[in-house]
Amino acid sequence: MRIRLKRRRFGQLIAASTATAVLGKLGKNTFAQTRPQTSSGLAPISGADSLNITLRVNGKIHALKLDPHVTLLDALREYIGFTGTKKGYDRGQCGACTVLVDGRRINSCLALACMHDGNEITTVEGLAKGNELHPMQVAFIKHDGFQCGYCTPGEICSAIGLLREVQAGTVSAVTADVRQPGGKVELTAAEIRERMSGNICRCGAYPGIVAAVSEANGNQAQRSVKQTMKPFALARAADQGTAIRLVTSDQRAKFIAGGTNLIDLMKGNVEQPENLIDITRLKMTRIEECEGGIRLGALAPNSDTANHPLVRQRYPLLSQGILAGVLTSVKMTVSSGQQTRHSDSRVVDEKHFWRVLRWMSVLLELGAWARQWYPTWSRQVIA
């Protein structure tokens, strides 16, 4: 028997079958969501139901009403206010959210708050005892185990958990012999790096972190990891004349004041002055008008220079350049003399200033031309 369907009838049958399938699935889902118990006898928790939980954070009890999907990280930051615990990737990949739960370190971004109802939770805010910092915090400060500081709370909590794991005899992937009797683990630099590998520091402060963890563990031998300065003598100049005399009489002496990278160079042993002349307290921050230009105090901060009315009115490009961070060297270039070696100020001569600025504009134009020309040249060479 042959069945012939018109086009309209065929379309109606398709629509009816589709509607039947959708309604049937909807009914099944509705039944699954509204039934009071599962086959195991446990009552499911709907995502729309709020839970009353108690979090013990840093020794204090916090009664909260949270949705089941709220993570421990969000509960600490958004509901309680402990913002020391940081949110990084929020996928358990960076360790910035590390906290201690009953003494064990966990990634709070991968834990639901309701899972830790009643547990003792310690964040970075709960490590210090009043004004006394935790030994791990002291070690991080001493060894520069941070730079921007965003990952530091997680690093410190993770390091504390690491030491507790070592004390308990927990081995790692780099432990030489997992059969050591009594579970004794020697906390070497390799052990620290392996055990802290779950905490990322994008600033690259890893040498300082390793040194800090080692010292907090009582291992004095690992202090050699820290870059140290060569010993030097420090003299505080009482006035400008004394400062000039001390520096001119000793070629191994250098001035030191605020806002300098000399300390950074000394830590890396790039600069090794034997004598430092502290001129921080000398009053050399004046910015004033003089014959032929503006006199800038040798210690006048860039921010003060850029915002001074004289500079803003007569040298607006200098002001804008300093604020933008692209002309910080101009203030030194247009100076007559180097800081206090010859005077307590620097005179910005207008002719000199515009000559320097003109050369800088030429260099910028050459750089722009090179950026346009290089891709064409490189394609020709590769071809």
Cα separation, 48 vs 207, whole angstroms: 47
**pLDDT recorded at residue 363:** 61
| Residue limits of CATH 3.30.43.10 in the chain | 233-278
**pLDDT recorded at residue 240:** 83
| Residue limits of CATH 3.10.20.30 in the chain | 51-126
CATH code that applies to domain 135-225:
1.10.150.120
SS (H, E, C) 67-116: CCCCEHHHHHHHHHCCCCCCCCCCCCCCCCCEEEECCEEEEHHHCEHHHH
**pLDDT recorded at residue 214:** 93
Mean pLDDT of the chain: 75
Cα separation, 88 vs 110, whole angstroms: 12
**pLDDT recorded at residue 44:** 53
pLDDT exceeds cutoff 50 at 262: yes
Per DSSP, which regions of 261-308 are E strands?
275-278, 287-290, 293-297
**pLDDT recorded at residue 250:** 85
Fold of 233-278: 3.30.43
Write the pLDDT tens digit of every residue in 111-122: 889 889 999 999
What would the DSSP string read from start to end of 301-316? -HHHHHH-HHHHHH-H
Specify whether the CB–CB gap between 345 and 284 falls below 8 A: yes
Handedness of CA 122, 124, 129, 130 (dihedral sign): negative
Model confidence band, residue 61 (pLDDT cutoffs 50, 70, 90): very high
Model confidence band, residue 23 (pLDDT cutoffs 50, 70, 90): low
| Residue limits of CATH 1.10.150.120 in the chain | 135-225
- Sheet containing 275-278: give its strands across: 233-236, 275-278, 253-256
Model confidence band, residue 257 (pLDDT cutoffs 50, 70, 90): confident
**pLDDT recorded at residue 115:** 87
**pLDDT recorded at residue 109:** 92
Amino acid type, 229: M
- Burial (CB count within 10 angstroms: exposed 0-12, middle 13-18, buried 19+), residue 344: buried
CATH code that applies to domain 51-126:
3.10.20.30
Element (H, E) at 255: strand 253-256
**pLDDT recorded at residue 277:** 84
Q: What is the percentage of the chain residues whose pLDDT exceeds 90?
A: 32
Cα separation, 267 vs 274, whole angstroms: 14
Rg of the chain over CA atoms, in angstroms?
33
Write the pLDDT tens digit of every residue in 316-374: 777 777 766 655 544 444 433 333 333 344 444 455 555 655 665 666 566 666 656 55
pTM beyond cutoff 0.85: no
**pLDDT recorded at residue 40:** 42
Give the CA distances from residue 74 to residues 69, 71, 92, 381, in Å, rounded to whole numbers and listed in that order.
10, 5, 14, 54
